[in-house]
Structure 1
Amino acid sequence: MDDRPDWNPFRALSRRVLTNDEPLVLSDDVRALLLRTAHEVAIRDAEAALSTKEGALALMREATRRISEGSNRLTDALHVMWQHQRAGDYDTARKLMRDVLAEEVVPYYRQLAQGQLDDMADEP
């Protein structure tokens, strides 16, 4: 997919700040990165969060959580879905993707889950 978000710069910043305890410097580039990432993970009011360092850190934590949990949720569901597909159980496979869609907020992960669900539309 060519609309895959590039979260590597955000992950690197998050690791430096949240894991290595480096100070968060809210430069124009960092603000732009945080705003872009917030948009990509469906966080509203990101601009307001960036008005304070505490808000920016909370925004970073929430974006990190959404990326990580969404990735884990989708990966786990895909693994089980493929097992059910191989066994010919498409109803359960579809349910797994519907469950992901019911919980997931990150548009990219939702798009991937919907694509899997659409791919099974013609299956029994």
Structure 2
Amino acid sequence: MTARPNWDAIRELSRRVLREGAPLIVTDDVRALLLQTADEVAVSDAAAALQTDAGALALLRECARRITDGSNRLMDALHRMWKLQRQGDFDSARQEMRAVLAVEVVPYYREAAQGQLDDMADEP
């Protein structure tokens, strides 16, 4: 499995800008962070978005949304999957991961869901 991305810096930037209302100042470091994160969360045309302040803000917002939504989606599905596994309902447990894979775009979360699905391949 791919190493877990370190999204602490993008989460901190998101908190400051999107929640606290600080201005988004696109320095070289912020640009690099946004480009790297966009790649990690499968946002296309990030470089084009960084051409304007509004585009950079929209890119930050979309990256943060994908990280949060994907994490919540995967964790909720994992909890349901584990409960179903304990009950012996492996078909429904597998369906939880298939449901994540049907909508998830972030490669790290997709890989995690696929790994869980693969781990259940030998179960009834």
Which bin holds the TM-score, normalised by the shorter protein? over 0.9
The alignment's TM-score, normalised by the length of structure 1, stands at 0.98
In the other structure, the counterpart of 2:23 is 23
Deviations 1:10-64 (A, max 9, x none): 0001111111111111110000000000000000000000000100000011111
Q: CA deviation at 1:117?
A: 0.3
Which segments of structure 1 move beyond 4 Å, counting only runs of 4 or more? none
State the secondary structure of the residue aligned to 1:48.
Answer: helix
CA contact (8 A) 2:10 2:33 kept: yes
- Residue 3 of structure 1 deviates from its aligned partner by 1.0
- The total of aligned residue pairs comes to 124
- Give structure 1 stretches of 5+ with no counterpart: none
Q: Which residue of 1 aligns with 2:84?
A: 84
Q: 1:4: which partner in 2?
A: 4
The TM-score with structure 2 as length reference comes to 0.98
Cα distance in 1, alignment partners of residues 15 and 28 from structure 2: 19
For residues 2 and 36 of structure 1, the distance between their equivalents in structure 2, rounded to whole angstroms, comes to 15
Counterpart position of 1:104: 104
| 1:121 matched residue in structure 2 | 121
Q: Report the counterpart of residue 44 of structure 1 in structure 2.
A: 44
**Equivalent AA in structure 2 for residue 29 of structure 1:** D
- For structure 2, which runs of at least 5 residues remain unmatched after alignment? none
Percent identical residues: 68
In the aligned structure 2, how far is the partner of 1:101 from the partner of 1:82? 17
Matches within 5 A, 1:68-83: 68-83=68-83
Whether the 8 Å CA contact 2:77–2:100 is kept in 1: the answer is yes
